[in-house]
DNA sequence: TTGACACTTTCCCATATAGGCATATGATTG
DNA sequence: CAATCATATGCCTATATGGGAAAGTGTCAA
């Protein structure tokens, strides 16, 4: 099998940096494709493709406005991600201590194996 | 080009569900590969490969313990993700209002176009 | 109708994946 | 030393990607 589709969930959708940038831009309000493409320095078709992915996972919605199509943010799909990652909050502080423990282990291991059994 | 490597950053690394499960398991403490593979119902080589990815992005670290290699969580790399997603926190509540606006738009559009019955 | 915009989709390609399986590496013990 | 356990890597394949270019759809204005 290949990697899961980018459209399979928000996790996969936001793994792409340019799509994250699009979301950031959309925090400023609705925007047409061309503007997004210009601001992000990508081709307009490419922007459309990224927006399609974001739409399919529900992070973005479209609204026709004359000849334009205005894309808007729907951030609700980001909440599960925030929650999941938040489940590790206590660990990214605690980890420093564990790392310290780890370093102590290394030191001790080196101390217990000075030069016997040596080369290769 | 193809999709960015899974090892290019934590965003890509955690896009894979099984890797997320591994991280969750590791919250319970250090574990050898075989145990992780068993608990997640995947083959040992597959678990090793996932762990390699997680190690390359720094979400996991290894420590030799006899013939075993104990994998441990290093959640610090998740913090940037939490922060980035957190930047949308105000929006996934506000979005309901905007959606409402959107729905109003739809209603009005329907009212101006002679389709079938009325609504409420 | 025609034309001009604003987008979207299709086609092409190089690349990297996840997974299954076989095999290699590493460490420990006899 | 060899045997054995624990883990890593190599090889294979199907699949999906992001990107460029080109062609298709939709909407408005004259």
- On the question of pLDDT at A82 being above 60, the answer is yes
What's the pLDDT at B104?
Answer: 47
Strand D: which nucleotides have any atom within 7 A of a protein Cβ?
A: 5-10, 14-23, 26-28
What's the pLDDT at A96?
Answer: 52
Structure tokens at A116: 């016997």
What's the pLDDT at A16?
Answer: 97
What's the pLDDT at A2?
Answer: 84
Mean pLDDT of A43-47: 96
Task: Please report the DSSP string for B20-34 in residue order.
Answer: HHHHHHHTT--EEHH
The whole-number Å distance from A21's CA to D5's C1' is 48
pLDDT digits (tens, 9 = 90+) for B69-115: 999 999 999 999 999 999 999 999 864 555 545 544 444 443 333 33
Q: In this structure, what DSSP letter does residue B99 have?
A: H
SS3 readout for chain A: CCCCCCCCCHHHHCCCHHHHHHHHHHCCCCEEHHHHHHHHCCCHHHHHHHHHHHHHCCCEEEEEECCEEEEEECHHHHHHHHHHHHCCCCHHHHHHHHHHHHHHHHHHHHHHCCCCCCCC
What's the pLDDT at B1?
Answer: 82
Q: Which of B74, B84, B62 is nearest to B11 (CA)?
A: B84
pTM of the predicted model as reported, rounded to 2 decimal places: 0.82
**Candidate from B16, B87, B99 with C-beta closest to A4:** B16
Q: State how far the Cα of A70 lies from the Cα of B102, in Å rounded to an integer.
A: 12
What's the pLDDT at B93?
Answer: 83
Contact residues, chain B, for A17 at CB < 8 Å:
4, 11
Q: Please, what is the Cα angle at A18 between A15 and A22, to 5 degrees?
A: 105
pLDDT digits (tens, 9 = 90+) for B39-77: 999 999 999 999 999 999 999 999 998 999 999 999 999
Q: State how far the Cα of B83 lies from the Cα of A87, in Å rounded to an integer.
A: 13
Q: Which residue of A has its CA nearest to B91?
A: A75
Q: Are A59 and A10 in contact (CB under 8 A)?
A: yes
The whole-number Å distance from B64's CA to D5's C1' is 15
Q: Please report, rounded to a whole number, the percentage of residues in chain A having pLDDT higher than 70.
A: 78
């Amino acid at each position: 099998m290949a990697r899961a589709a980018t459209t399979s969930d928000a996790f996969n959708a936001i793994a792409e940096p340019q799509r994250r940038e699009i979301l950031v831009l959309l925090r400023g309000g609705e925007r047409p494709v061309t503007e997004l493409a210009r601001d992000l320095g990508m081709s307009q078709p490419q922007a459309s493709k990224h927006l399609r992915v974001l739409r399919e996972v529900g992070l973005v919605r479209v609204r026709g406005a004359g000849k334009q199509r205005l894309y808007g943010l729907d951030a609700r799909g980001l909440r599960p991600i925030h929650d999941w990652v938040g489940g590790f909050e206590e660990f990214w502080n605690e980890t420093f201590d564990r790392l310290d423990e780890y370093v102590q282990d290394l030191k001790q291991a080196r101390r217990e194996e000075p030069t016997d059994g040596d080369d290769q």
